Structure 1
Amino acid sequence: MSDELKISRRDFLKNLGMAGVAATAAGSTGLTLAGEVFGSTTSGGVYRRPWWVREVDEPTTGIRWEQIKRVDASRDTLFGNVLGRFATPEENQRLLQVREDLLLERLNSEEPGYTLKDQALENAMRQSRGIIPRSFLGAQWAMTPEQRGVARWEGSPEDAAHIIKVALRQMGAASVGIVHLDERTRKLIYAVDTDGKRIEFEDVEQAYETEDKRVIPNRAEWVIVYTVQMSEDALRRAPTKIAEFGTQTSYQRGLLVQNGLQEFLRGLGYQGLGEQTLNGLGIAPALAVMAGLGELSRQNRVITPEYGPMVRVFKLVTDLPLAADRPIDAGITRFCKTCKKCAEACPPSALSFDTEPGWEPVGEWSNPGHQAWFENSLRCRRFWYEEAGTNCGICFAVCPFTKQGKSFMHQFVHMQIATAPVINSLTRSMDDAFGYGVRKDPTEWWNLDLPEYGIDTTKGK
């Protein structure tokens, strides 16, 4: 760490005082221009966000809807086998063998984060996820109103959004947003799902599935987008099997939430069409941005005001009429222009160092028509197999937004980022000075006093 970054907490508080003046000046102007003083309330009035999280008409990164196309996720993403079509079958097989050999070598040398107990922990969570059913149509075990001999639930879109969000929070969702499907946002639903089945919209009453397609009724016009927290303590050990365990745990909990939501909607008399495959159905970051859950970041992933990047995003289509949410501006994208900490920490240099997000995709795995810091996904994925032996998550761990402490200092910093971008570089420097984002000892994790699932469920509340 350079000498200019070695400061005391007392000096930091002095800097905060100066920052406060800037924040007051910039913040009052920004809020006046926005016409928002008291922050935003999610549709259904379930919870109010801090005053510096503003609803806006368009996302903070640009979109050219006329250029957006529905994605063939089985062909143009890396959700499949290793590098998918972007490498030969022989190369994909080689990478699988390299990872297997690497994990065995680290197991035999008892490398922290890759010991037998570490690998057994991650594998247990990965395999247990296969026991839980995942379905586009849902298990359909819950009694419908018709089966009960009563009329289905009816209420205003606001009332419907309210009960959906309350139910989801109780099921384990961290945050929930709603997107209305129209001719533009339908483009965010995959044309072909990750397993190769087409996803089509038809003028039918009930959704159905065949050997080669999944059909969404035209009347199903709403996407429920929700997040599940990841364990910060686990991800701070990335890239190890402990960090990958944190990822697998969030996927398992997201699947449990999906199953519960599908049965809840069925019990109300409506359809819930979920992810048949992991990361299926639609573009998670784009839908999360449109649902107001967060902003697109330098990681080319969503960062939320409440949880930073420490979330996984899930989605489900329904025919229950819901009040939609709007995109937000919490200063996150603006901060990413200055920070660049994740790009500096990325071992394979897969993240962009450009100050401004661009319009030109890096590869065919990126959808054109939107502004982003496009990552080199092939470099990222190769690192997983050739060096990490796991998934990664370093970019999540080092992000300044990962810290979501309840102290006034952290809350003040979030307010400053939203209202006084002129001192964003100072904020990044303070993050470095306090040593945040440094990888933690994997061995230490086994002796921590951790909460259930390794997450603090009071964050963001």
Structure 2
Amino acid sequence: MSRFHSSVSRRDFMKALGITGAGIGTAAVASATFNDIDGMITSGAAPKRPWWVKEADKATVEYDWSQIERFDARKVMNSPMGPPQWVSTEEWARVQKIAADNQADWIKAGKPGYTLRDHALYKGAMGGEGSPGVTNYSWLGPQKSPTPEKLGTTPWQGTPEENTAMLRTALRFFGAADIGILELDENVRKLVYTYPRVAPYKRYEFEEVDKGYEDDEKWVIPSKKKLYVVTIISQSSIDGYTTTPSWMQRAASDNTVRLNAGILAATQEFLRTLGYQAMAGHERNALGPAPAFAALSGLGELCRNTQVLTPDYGLMIRAVRLITDLPLAPTKPIDAGIWRFCHDCAKCSEACVSQAIPHDKEPSWDVPGGWNNPGKKVWYVNGVKCQSTREMLTRDCGLCMTACVYTKKDYAGIHNIVKSTISTTGLFNGFFKNMDDQFGYGTEFGPDHNPLQGDFNEGAEDFWVKNMPQFGVNSMIGLKNR
């Protein structure tokens, strides 16, 4: 149940803040009008957003394409090849032993969030990832659906706007929350990894061919056609995340990963039958960095912990992406005041057990380690600290995501009033952060209070008596504000 119920109107709230009449946060939502049937058909090409989310020409984070180069994902700390590059063999062996001991000890002791049934939920949510018979990530998809040629017809033809509206509807039907679209131009190509995070470590190559393919050494992206990157976000369970530190939090994340594998496969088959290709990579973090693709295509804004924070779902998402030759209409970046708000908040930094997320007021261009790709002015996370602590907490954490002011179910109308105010002025950012603390949102855990110090989330057991919605999420979020 939400801790904060309110019958305060938007106007009364603005009056209390002393900004009524200042033109801030009081815009009315205009109903959509269409001049003809084509306008109605293509209206779904642009995502329908709350009135307080503005389109922008550039993402709100500063970046410099001239400094960005294609990155080898084998360098990141959550790659099996990452730790040996940045941590001594002895230190990583120590971290892994602590993790193994913690897992055994916490299960045996029945620690809250780390009981046998909690572990079973986490393993079940993974769904046997990588096992025969389980829907898995793949470069070209199952390739079982018929092509237009086999059906005796020609490929689907529509305008980019019509195709985008069609694809968004199909993805929502398959289970996704939203999509963002980028043209794969010379700059966006720089975001495509050279090598993936996990095996098989084949190279991503651009070749002057008509069709993408793979062989024993490479995954090939065709260069002869105009291509688009489709970033797909799906919700994770806030009920799972708010039990963190726990295996239910990990289950909430991996449940979305498992569902995303099916969504991608369904989309690849959908596009195949329309007569188009969809290249999606072989694992959950394939092709390139999700936060970059998501922020540039308007699904959210980059935030302090270097993830993408969405206006509707907060950080409760997992993202996947695919490359297609279906003509699409790119979606623009957004400005909802999120990046600006992060300058004044830092709740994620306060909750970070390893203190890997900077507390500084201002972001920086300075890159702290080779596990990062330069070219953006952000709060670079110390990947060694983060991944080492996640490992010792038996493979995951999620406290930065749970602590976020945007991690809310939004049942109380006051939350959208707060977000609409944040989008238009930064004057009240500190006030909203403090009010979030006062109302008990976020998490009580942090560097001095966590399972590594013997402190567990006693409320984690409540997860098992909740009236859980399907997949642990409210699928109406993202629609009710339109």
Question: Normalised by the size of structure 1, how large is the TM-score?
Answer: 0.91
- Please give the alpha-carbon distance, in whole angstroms, between the structure 2 residues aligned to 1:43 and 1:76: 40
1:459, CA displacement in angstroms? 0.6
- Name the structure 1 match of 2:472: 454
Q: How does 1:50-129 map to 2 (within 5 A)?
A: 50-80=50-80, 83-129=83-129
Partners of 1:442 and 1:289 in 2: CA distance: 32
**What's the counterpart of residue 142 of structure 1?**
145
Report the CA distance between 1:217 and its aligned residue.
Answer: 0.3
Q: How many angstroms does 1:70 deviate by?
A: 0.5
User: Is the 8 Å Cα contact of residues 181 and 331 (structure 2) preserved in structure 1?
Assistant: yes
Please say if residues 25 and 421 of structure 2, whose CA atoms lie closer than 8 Å, have aligned partners that are also in contact: no
Q: 2:13 aligns with which of 11, 16, 25?
A: 16
Residues 271-296 of structure 1: per-residue CA shift (max 9 Å, x gap): 00002123111111000001100000
CA distance in structure 1 between the aligned counterparts of 2:31 and 2:83, rounded to whole angstroms: 46
Change in CA separation of 1:23 and 1:326 when aligned onto 2, cut-off 3 Å: farther
| Equivalent residue pairs, number | 448
Residue pair 1:82, 1:381 contacting (<8 A) in 2 also? no
CA distance in 2 between counterparts of 1:321 and 1:64 reads 27
Query: Which position in structure 1 is the counterpart of 2:311?
Result: 305
In the alignment, what sits opposite 1:3?
none
**What letter matches 1:407 in structure 2?**
A
* Root mean square deviation, CA, Å: 2.6
Map of 2:185 onto structure 1: 182
Preserved contact between residue 46 and residue 331 of structure 2 (Cα < 8 Å) = no
Sequence identity (%): 36
Q: 1:37 offset after TM fit, Å?
A: 8.7
Is 1:19–1:423's contact at 8 Å kept on the other side of the alignment?
no
Structure-1 residue corresponding to 2:294 = 288
Give the drift of 1:370: 0.9
SS of the equivalent of 1:422 reads coil
Matched, 1:326 2:323: no
Q: Map 1:1-400 onto structure 2 (within 5 A).
A: 16-18=13-15, 20-22=17-19, 25=22, 27=24, 44-45=44-45, 47-80=47-80, 83-130=83-130, 131-194=134-197, 195=199, 196-218=201-223, 219-386=225-392, 388-400=393-405
1:214-265 per-position Cα deviation (integer Å, ceiling 9, x unaligned)? 1100125100101010100100111211111111101001111110110001
CA spacing shift, 1:348–1:18, aligned 2, 3 Å: farther
- For residues 445 and 392 of structure 1, what CA distance do their matches in structure 2 show? 17
- Number of the residue aligned with 1:412: 417
| Aligned residue type for 2:63 | I
Give the letter aligned to residue 98 of structure 2.
V
Judge conservation of contact 2:177–2:233 (CA < 8 Å) in 1.
Answer: yes
| Residue segments in structure 1 that go unaligned for 5+ positions in a row | 1-6
1:364–1:287 distance in 2 versus 1, CA, 3 Å: same
CA deviations over 1:389-409 (Å, ceiling 9, x no partner): 230100111111111414321
| Range with greater deviation from structure 2 (220-229 or 92-101) | 92-101
SS of corresponding position for 2:377: coil
Secondary structure of 1:100 counterpart: helix
CA displacement at 1:193 relative to structure 2: 1.7
Asked if the contact 1:26–1:420 (Cα under 8 Å) also holds between the matched residues in 2, the reply is no
Contact 1:309–1:402 under 8 Å retained in 2: yes
* 1:124 CA displacement: 2.0
Contact 2:75–2:82 (CA under 8 A) maintained in structure 1: no
2:37 is aligned to none
**Bigger mean CA offset, 394-403 vs 117-126:** 117-126
Structure 1 residues 333 and 270: alpha-carbon distance in aligned structure 2, compared to 1, 3 A threshold: same
User: Alpha carbons of 1:47 and 1:23: their partners in 2 closer, same or farther (altered >3 Å)?
Assistant: farther
Of stretches 164-173 and 214-223 in structure 1, the one that deviates more from structure 2 is 214-223
Q: Per-residue displacement from partner, 1:74-123 (whole Å, max 9, x unpaired)?
A: 23453335724212444434433321111100111110111111111111
Residues 77 and 378 (structure 1 numbering): CA distance in 2 closer, same or farther, change over 3 Å? closer
Amino acid at match of 1:316: L
Contact kept? 1:306, 1:404, Cα under 8 Å: no
Give ranges in structure 2 of 5+ residues lacking alignment.
33-39, 445-456
CA positional deviation for 1:17: 4.0
Out of 427, 431, 445, the position equivalent to 2:463 is: 445
- TM-superposed deviation, 1:15: 9.2
Please state how far the C-alpha of 1:47 moved relative to its aligned partner. Answer: 4.3
Equivalent in the alignment of 1:4:
none
Amino acid at match of 2:67: Q
In 2, the alpha carbon distance for the partners of 1:253 and 1:132 equals 9
* TM value normalised by structure 2: 0.87
Distance 1:103 1:82, change over 3 A: farther
2:95 match: secondary structure? helix
Matched residue of 2:52: which SS?
A: coil
State the alpha-carbon separation in 2 of the partners of residues 296 and 19 from structure 1. 30
Q: Which residue identity does 1:102 align to in structure 2?
A: N
Q: Aligned letter for 2:463?
A: W
Structure 1 Cα separation of the partners of residues 322 and 20 of structure 2: 39
Q: Deviations over 1:389-448 (max 9, x none)?
A: 230100111111111414321111110000121111111111111111135611111011
